[in-house]
Amino acid sequence: MILLVAEPGGGGMDAGLFAVCLNLPHLLGPLLARRLDRVGDGRPFIATCCVLYGVALAAAALSIGRAPLVVSLAFVVVAGVCGPVLTAGLSSQLSLMVPPSKAIQRRAQGLDALTYGVAGSAGPAIVASIATASTPLTAVLALSGTAAVAGALMMTLPAVPTQDGPEAETALGMRRVISHIVHASGLRRATVAMMVTSFVAGSMAILAVGRGIQLRGDPDSGALLAALYGAGSLLGSIFTSVVPLKGEADRTTICYSISIGTTFVLGGLAPNFATALVAFVIAGFLSGPFFVATLAARTAYSPDRGRAQVFVAMGALKITLSAAGAAVAGLIGFDTAGIFLALGGAFIVAVGAALILDRHRRPPTSGEGVSLGHYRR
């Protein structure tokens, strides 16, 4: 979309508006997710959101330069509202589609995280290739088409059995879901760990370029650090899809958060490029199992009739905090990238230590979690 906006002579301000209009509406995602929490088959609703996302994205792309800017932005907002249902909303259904065995659930969560990693790595590369070989408009329309295909593929997934009884059409209100996130100790700690880690991790592309300039004097070295961070993240996702995480989701999330913070400190204070390179690769690798741990925490500590809203709310917070981190890093600039990364990592470690103390005072209590009665062979 940014390439497409820039093509007719649009400036960075227009590109920024499109990015904001696509990401900020994710905060409204939990309102749509409530539909998924009304016990029943969520596939048709997710499929509809996939198709609507694709149609809105295509309409936005086709309207650029042909209609007022506000019209194009309105289409992007529609896509942004549907976005969380395609990601976290879909992930919230996973625990209901596979057997309730903890080992199988963790392996499924690892494979789910792998899809995010593959999409995040291969998606931009494929789109850039299409845009280079053809036009940015073709690339965006191709993305729109994949969303529509995803809608069709949704209906091939296992159906979630419908629950009978008076609660079959009910779902927790958003206020009760937020209250659950705040008061369920395990879910609260996982949310806090995810938020602080996402804030710093969201700025890695900018900070990597800054570190490359600081250590080697050229931005290409920074691009290499960013690429290796992404490659490490993909490898971490592959690892957790092969070797499922073990242990309590609450503890695992905190431990990985502290580990990532430590590598951020190392990357920020690294005296040479080789040390920074190792730190960025390890930090990227750890982000894979950390994401799986947050998925496991959402599954373990979410109430049955609010699971989708919890998944989407945490996903929206992650995206929002990542964007905020990137914005702050952009304002600070490249010259202080090392200090920002080290301080950010130290903050993550400090918050992690506080969460460990809180865990000793208030051990995690499982929410309703995965209702075994929902699973049928």
What residue spans of the chain are helical by DSSP H? Answer: 2-6, 12-23, 29-37, 43-63, 69-84, 90-97, 102-133, 136-154, 174-183, 185-201, 204-216, 219-242, 249-269, 273-301, 307-332, 337-361
Predicted confidence band at 347 (pLDDT cuts at 50, 70, 90)?
very high
Q: Render the burial of 342-365: b for 16+ CB within 10 Å, e for the rest.
A: bebbbbbbebbeebeeebeeeebe
Name the residue among 144, 154, 28, 147 with its Cα closest to residue 91.
Answer: 154
pLDDT for res 345: 96
Q: Measured between alpha carbons, how far apart are the two ends of the chain, in Å?
A: 43
Predicted confidence band at 140 (pLDDT cuts at 50, 70, 90)?
very high
Name the residue among 364, 357, 310 with its Cα closest to residue 185.
Answer: 364
Q: What does the pLDDT look like over 165-198, one tens digit per residue?
A: 554 456 677 788 888 888 888 999 999 999 999 9
What is the distance between the alpha carbons of residues 121 and 230, in angstroms, rounded to a whole number?
A: 7
The three-class DSSP label of residue 161 is coil
Asked if 87 contacts 147 with a C-beta cutoff of 8 angstroms, the reply is no
What is the distance between the alpha carbons of residues 64 and 69, in angstroms, rounded to a whole number?
A: 7
Residues 53-82: what's their mean pLDDT?
93
Cα three-residue angle 125-130-133, rounded to 5 degrees: 120
Superfamily of domain 2-155+173-363: MFS general substrate transporter like domains (1.20.1250.20)
Predicted confidence band at 12 (pLDDT cuts at 50, 70, 90)?
low
Q: What does the pLDDT look like over 221-245, one tens digit per residue?
A: 888 998 899 889 989 989 988 888 8
Residues 22-38: what's their mean pLDDT?
82
Q: In percent, how much of the chain has pLDDT > 70? A: 91
pLDDT for res 162: 61
pLDDT for res 335: 86
Q: What does the pLDDT look like over 83-100, one tens digit per residue?
A: 989 988 889 888 888 888
Q: What is the DSSP string of 51-88?
A: HHHHHHHHHHHHHBTTB-HHHHHHHHHHHHHHHHIIII
